[in-house]
Amino acid sequence: MQVNDTIAMYVEELIGKLGTKKGKKGKNQVEKTTLSTPQANPAYNLSLSGKLPPPIWSNIRTKSEPAMTDEEFENAIKALAVEFAEKSLEIGNSGKSSSMINKELFNFTQSFINGKYAELENQYVSVVSPDRKAAYANANFKDSNKVYGNEVSYRGDNELMHWNPSLGWATVTTVAEEERTGKFTRLFIDTLKAYEAEHGVKIPYSTISKEVTPINHYA
């Protein structure tokens, strides 16, 4: 059986990880907004204090202790991929109309990638993340709205995060984070392919994905 590579491309697109290009598209993938806009939240109105609002650390990846061993992480990633495959197949084989199945697959994948996938990926990648909290605490914002550290970013500099007046705080992915994120994604995708090969099935996916902006979560 020929492995269905379309599902791999589909999931990668929804995760916002179609490759690791460094152009404008790549920049959007690795520099992700982590706060609401000033218009959406009055607390971010800089005219009140003239100071940058503090980051919402629950939305920003920073150094953390491993939640489990790498072997346990890899088993958890594989189990997550199998769960995704089985639920997708359940929806695809529900007997409902194609339009309803298409919509349910889209909604499920959005929820899954933004939920369980993002949570496990954050635990896995933050093991190699820089201590952005410490870097922020030591940053000098008199001349810049950027936070620097000792780690090298994917761009080759040492910027870890910055404030954007329109978008809020955004992080810049380090080389180590990018590599570990790629490892997570590859293992997830490889498990989906292995599942297809072992069970002789093709995991269904929603074509709606081609019409939406890829999901962006933790930087």
Give the burial class of 160: count Cβ atoms within 10 A of its Cβ; 0-12 exposed, 13-18 middle, 19 or more buried: buried
Render pLDDT for 92-125 as a digit per residue (tens, 0 to 9): 999 999 999 999 999 999 899 989 999 999 999 9
What is the edge-to-edge ordering of all strands in the sheet holding 31-33? 31-33, 168-172, 159-164, 146-148
Render pLDDT for 18-58 as a digit per residue (tens, 0 to 9): 333 334 333 333 444 333 333 334 344 443 345 889 999 98
Inter-CA distances, 116 with 12, 46, 47, 65, Å: 15, 35, 38, 19
Render pLDDT for 175-207 as a digit per residue (tens, 0 to 9): 999 999 999 999 999 999 999 999 999 998 887
pTM: 0.76
User: What CA–CA distance (Å, rounded) separates 140 from 34?
Assistant: 20
User: What CA–CA distance (Å, rounded) separates 105 from 87?
Assistant: 9
What confidence tier does 143 reach under pLDDT thresholds 50, 70, 90?
Answer: confident
User: What CA–CA distance (Å, rounded) separates 31 from 217?
Assistant: 10
What was the pLDDT predicted at 214? 37
What was the pLDDT predicted at 165? 85
Query: Which of 156-160, 168-172, 203-207 is predicted least confidently?
Result: 203-207
Check if the beta carbon of residue 132 is closer than 8 Å to that of residue 148. no
Half-sphere exposure of 103 (CA within 13 A, CB side): 4
